[in-house]
Amino acid sequence: MERPLVVDYVRPQNSRPEGVAFVFDGGVLDETDLVGMVFPDGEILSAGFHTLAEVRGKVKPLLADRLAAALQAAEQGATALCEQGQRIA
């Protein structure tokens, strides 16, 4: 898979410089895939499946918007071009 779903321009804010964030299609997982997941470096603490509504309550709005754009792009077979998580093309 590994096709790009989102290319998102992020404006500079406070001490953070401008940047570009990417979201790629990593394929499809199910509950059985989660059972054996190991996160050796400690950066990731857990993994789970969540609805977009649940995600909006767990992450910053910019990331939630980017994930919404990624879901839409996956359904459309497209790559979403975004600015600050908002789709512009």
Q: Which domain holds residue 60?
A: 4-27+45-87
Mean pLDDT of 44-68: 95
In this structure, the strands spanning 19-24 and 4-10 are antiparallel
Q: Mean pLDDT lowest for which of 5-9, 42-46, 66-70?
A: 42-46
- Do the beta carbons of residue 62 and residue 85 sit within 8 Å? yes
Q: Structure tokens of 30?
A: 């199910």
**Within a domain: 36:** no
Backbone angles phi, psi at 60, to 5 degrees: -65, 150
Quick: pLDDT tens for 61-83: 999 999 999 999 999 999 999 99
**Within a domain: 17:** yes
Determine the pLDDT at residue 1: 57
| Residue carrying the six token digits 């950066």 | 43
Instruction: Check pLDDT > 90 for residue 19.
Output: yes
Domain count, the chain: 1
Mean pLDDT, the chain, rounded, equals: 94
pTM for the predicted model, two decimal places: 0.87
The HSE-up count of residue 49 (CA atoms within 13 Å, CB side) is 8
Distance, in Å, from the CA atom of 52 to the CA atom of 67, rounded to the nearest integer, reads 8
